[in-house]
Amino acid sequence: MEAAAATLVTGLVLGGMYALVAIGLTLQYGVARIMNLAYGEFVVAAAFAALWLFTSLGVSPLIGLALVMPLAFLANWAIYRIFLTPLVRRAPNAGALETDSILATFGLLFVVQGVMLALFGGAYQSYSYLSIPVEIFGATITANRLVALGFAAVIGGGLWFLLTHTRTGTAVRAVAVNPAAAPLVGIDMARTAALAFAAGGAVVASGGVLVSTFLTFNAAMGVVFTMKALVVVIMGGVGNLMGCLVAGLLLGLTETLVASFVDPGLTLAATYGLFLTILIARPAGLFGVAAR
């Protein structure tokens, strides 16, 4: 019973992280229409930034969060403006942009990964922050996981509020729903897309910092994060925050269940299994309406 409770809580925390990371991706893919294969590298880059801040400067990851998020916002805004805008201009249609963005970000993946390998090496890294055992619902879990989950909820909730209660947020959602009609009602597409891409980058960086407090990570792990974020986004329906949350939690729970009761070596297989089931049963996502 206790083992089951522990699995449940661990799974929910992991799922919360997946949901947060996927929310950033759904902004980039659903609004800016950029399929970002280098996405997971930014999770890892933020994790390394937090590690460096904590071990060499003694800065707590929670303060690190306040430093890394604006930086990631600016960096992603610059990436969109400098690297991706030419592709957006050149693409004759949405399909061509998708292919081009896949290729460009695939190249970016190797550049970012190479830089991280050169800076930090390929070894697994971790640091000890708030690893105090806490008892919750009869399960023992470290405090850092709970703190991470709390911050993820705050960031996700804050983003949801901005998207639903501000003028800019409404514009962002309008572009996600119908990119062709949005300019007709006076929405600046280029600005909105850049903003969504940058915001997505800030969210993913926050995910990286939070994950670094309780997971060991290395420079080559980005691909797995990208894969999982993509699966969550597709499962939840592109551009759907609520879908991301549900799908993320589902993935986290499935993985933890498989890891603790079957074999830890089969977590990616579990991800694929879930993905395949969704593909076959509900190709438009859990909450999707129309299938193409």
For tokens 């129309």, the residue is 290
- Which range of residues in 45-53, 111-119, 165-173, 209-217 is near other proteins by CB under 8 A? 111-119
With respect to other proteins, which residue has the nearer C-beta, 148 or 176?
A: 176
- The four Cα atoms 221, 227, 232, 234 give a dihedral, to 10 degrees, of 160
CB of 166 to other proteins, least distance (A): 29
Neighbours of 127 (CB within 10 A): 15
Residues numbered 254 to 283 that lie near other proteins (CB under 8 A) are 263, 265-269, 271-272, 275-276, 279-280, 283
- Which range of residues in 47-55, 69-77, 187-195, 229-237 is near other proteins by CB under 8 A? 229-237
Interface with other proteins, residue 117, by CB under 8 A:
yes
Burial class from Cβ neighbours inside 10 Å (0-12, 13-18, 19+) for residue 90 reads exposed
Calpha distance 39→225 (Å, rounded): 8
20 residue type, one letter: L
Interface with other proteins, residue 4, by CB under 8 A:
no
Calpha distance 244→186 (Å, rounded): 29
Interface with other proteins, residue 37, by CB under 8 A:
yes
CB of 78 to other proteins, least distance (A): 15
Q: Find the binder of other proteins among 118, 123, 180, 289 (CB under 8 A).
A: 118
Are the C-beta atoms of residues 62 and 151 closer than 8 Å to each other? yes
Residues numbered 128 to 157 that lie near other proteins (CB under 8 A) are none
With respect to other proteins, which residue has the nearer C-beta, 104 or 175?
A: 104
- Which range of residues in 12-20, 58-66, 135-143, 220-228 is near other proteins by CB under 8 A? 220-228
With respect to other proteins, which residue has the nearer C-beta, 47 or 108?
A: 108
CA angle 26, 116, 24 (to 5 degrees): 10
Interface with other proteins, residue 234, by CB under 8 A:
yes
Residues numbered 85 to 104 that lie near other proteins (CB under 8 A) are 86, 90, 95, 98-100, 102-104
Q: Find the binder of other proteins among 4, 66, 78, 111 (CB under 8 A).
A: 111
* Strand, helix or coil for residue 136: strand
* Strand, helix or coil for residue 144: helix
Q: Max Cα separation, the chain?
A: 58
For residue 60, give both structure tokens.
Answer: 């707590």
CA distances from 183 to 101, 178, 192 (A): 22, 10, 10
- Please report the sign of the dihedral spanned by the C-alpha atoms of residue 202, residue 207, residue 212, residue 216: negative
Question: Site residues (CB under 8 A) for other proteins?
Answer: 35, 37, 83, 86, 90, 95, 98-100, 102-104, 106-115, 117-118, 223-224, 226-227, 230-231, 234, 263, 265-269, 271-272, 275-276, 279-280, 283, 292
